[in-house]
Amino acid sequence: MAGIRAGVMGIGWPGRMHTEGLSKLRGVTVAAVAEPDEHRRSEYVAQYGPMAEYKDYRAMLRKADIDAAAVALPTSMHHRACVDALKAGCHVICEKPPTTTAREMIEIARLARKKKLTYMFARQPRFRPDALVARRLVQKKKIGHVYHAESSWIRCRDIPWGKGGWFVDKKKGGGVLLDLGVHMIDNAWFVMGCPRPVEAFAGTHVAFDDLAPPGVSYTAEDMATGMLRFENGATLTFTVTFALNTVGPVSDGVKGHVNPQWGTVKIYGKKGGIDVWGKKLAMGRRDGVVVSDIKMPKNAPGGFDAQAKEFARAIRAGDEPMNSPAQAVMLMQMLDALKKSGETRRSVRIPKVSV
The tens digit of pLDDT for each residue in 254-281 reads 454 444 447 899 999 999 999 999 999 9
Domain count, the chain: 2
| Whether 266 and 212 share a structural domain | yes
Do 262 and 183 lie in one domain? The reply is yes
Closest residue by Cα to residue 121 from 101, 100, 104, 97: 97
Task: State whether 291 and 182 are in the same domain.
Answer: yes
Q: What is the CATH number of the domain that holds 273?
A: 3.30.360.10
pLDDT in tens, 126-160: 999 999 999 999 999 999 999 999 999 988 888 88
273 in any annotated domain: yes
- The answer to whether residue 216 is domain-embedded is yes
- Range of the structural domain that residue 272 is part of: 129-296
Return the amino acid letter for 352. K
Query: Is residue 139 within 8 Å of residue 132, measured between CB atoms?
Result: no
Q: What is the pLDDT of residue 147?
A: 98
CATH number, residue 46: 3.40.50.720
Dihedral sign computed on CA atoms, order 37, 43, 47, 53: positive
Q: Are 194 and 138 in contact (CB under 8 A)?
A: no
The pLDDT tens digits for 236-260 are: 999 999 988 887 654 444 454 444 4
Burial class of residue 36 (count of CB atoms within 10 Å of its CB; 0-12, 13-18, 19+): exposed
Claim to verify: residue 154 and residue 259 sit in the same structural domain: yes
Angle of the 325-344 helix axis to the 182-192 helix axis, nearest 10: 130
Average pLDDT for 15-22:
97
In the listed set 296, 315, 347, which residue is the last one of a domain according to the structure? 296
Nearest alpha-carbon partner for 37 in 11, 17, 14: 11
On whether both 211 and 67 belong to a single domain, the answer is no
What does the pLDDT average to over 314-340?
Answer: 97
Same domain, 112 and 160: no
104 and 177 both lie in a single domain = no
Residue 97 in domain = yes
Please indicate, yes or no, whether residues 9 and 46 belong to a single structural domain of this protein.
Answer: yes
- On whether both 246 and 180 belong to a single domain, the answer is yes
Q: In this structure, is residue 334 part of a structural domain?
A: no
Residue 12 lies in a domain: yes
Average pLDDT on 189-207 reads: 98
Domain boundary among 296, 312, 335: 296
CA nearest to 94, candidates 216, 215, 9, 179: 9
- Select from 338, 324, 350 the least CA-distant residue to 105: 324
**Residue 197 maps to a domain:** yes
Give 212's DSSP letter.
Answer: P
- Distance between CA 202 and CA 152 in Å, rounded? 14
- My answer on whether 266 and 316 are in the same domain is no
pLDDT per position as a tens digit, 31-59: 999 999 999 999 999 999 899 999 999 99
Indicate whether 102 and 159 sit together in one domain.
no
What's the helix, strand, coil split of the chain in %, to 5?
A: 40, 25, 35
Nearest CA to 306 out of 94, 129, 66 is that of 129
Residue 77 lies in a domain: yes
* Shared domain check, 63 and 117: yes
Given this model, what pLDDT does residue 260 score?
43
Structural domain contains residue 25: yes
The pLDDT-based confidence of 118 (bands split at 50, 70, 90) is very high
pLDDT (0 to 100) of residue 299: 80
